[in-house]
Amino acid sequence: MMHFADSLTFSGRKVVAAWAALPFPALSGSSLPDILSAHQQGMPWKLLSSGREQKVSCCFAQSVVLRGICQEKSSSCPGQPPSPLHSCESPEQVLQQFLHTQFPGAFSTSHVLQQPCDTRPPFPQFFSPFLTRRGFLLDKAQGFSSAGVESVPVLAALQSSPVLHWLLSGLCRELQAPNVRRWSSFCTAGLEQDDFQEALEELKTLSQCYETGFGADGSEDEADSE
């Protein structure tokens, strides 16, 4: 995982954030271009890394995997394709085109796998009754419980993005709050105050590598630097 993260980082960046949509919201029987076209206003995933919910509008690099969608039927679109996604020849091209539209200029790698995520026991059964046994969305609740969901489509990603500026700077603020000299366990573990301060400075410098200069929380960052 460390080497994989390294392949997505550059310009002094060292960490990536994890995102996932489980299940990926898709109507049963829809084609991949139809499904992704319904999410043009934003990615439906959630941030798995610790921190408040963030909306990602740009990123530096990412690796995205979509599972359990490509086996759905292809969209039959006579005449002019309704969108550029419908003009793609393969599921991989569809996903790559979608990522290019969502994150123009970002380095993106993508994979589309036919096999969905297996959710049979002992997988936690926390799914909505609006899912089929294969994890696709229904217009109305089904007659059996969510325990009947045997698999789900999943969208997952590792991403180097400005979200990490907020996450890392928040961690730095939390570490600055306690006075390590008052905690004997730090001293007995061999932690030196100078080493601790040096690590904090390195963490602050790392967080600055993810700044874009136009973040929504720019005023908060300026206050922290003061």
Q: Is the pLDDT of residue 171 over 60?
A: yes
pLDDT for 11 equals 84
The helix or strand, by DSSP H or E, that contains position 151, with its residue range, turns out to be strand 151-152
For residues 6-29, average pLDDT: 89
Class of residue 110 by CB neighbours under 10 A (exposed 0-12, middle 13-18, buried 19+): buried
Contacts of 148 (CB under 8 A, 6+ apart): 133, 142
Residue with more model confidence, 93 or 226: 93
Q: 81: cis peptide before it, omega within 30°? A: no
Confidence of residue 50 (pLDDT cuts 50, 70, 90): confident
SS3 103: coil
pLDDT for 222 equals 39
Confidence of residue 75 (pLDDT cuts 50, 70, 90): very low
For residues 122-150, average pLDDT: 80
Structure pTM? Answer: 0.78
For residues 53-61, average pLDDT: 78
Q: For tokens 């390294």, what's the residue?
A: 6
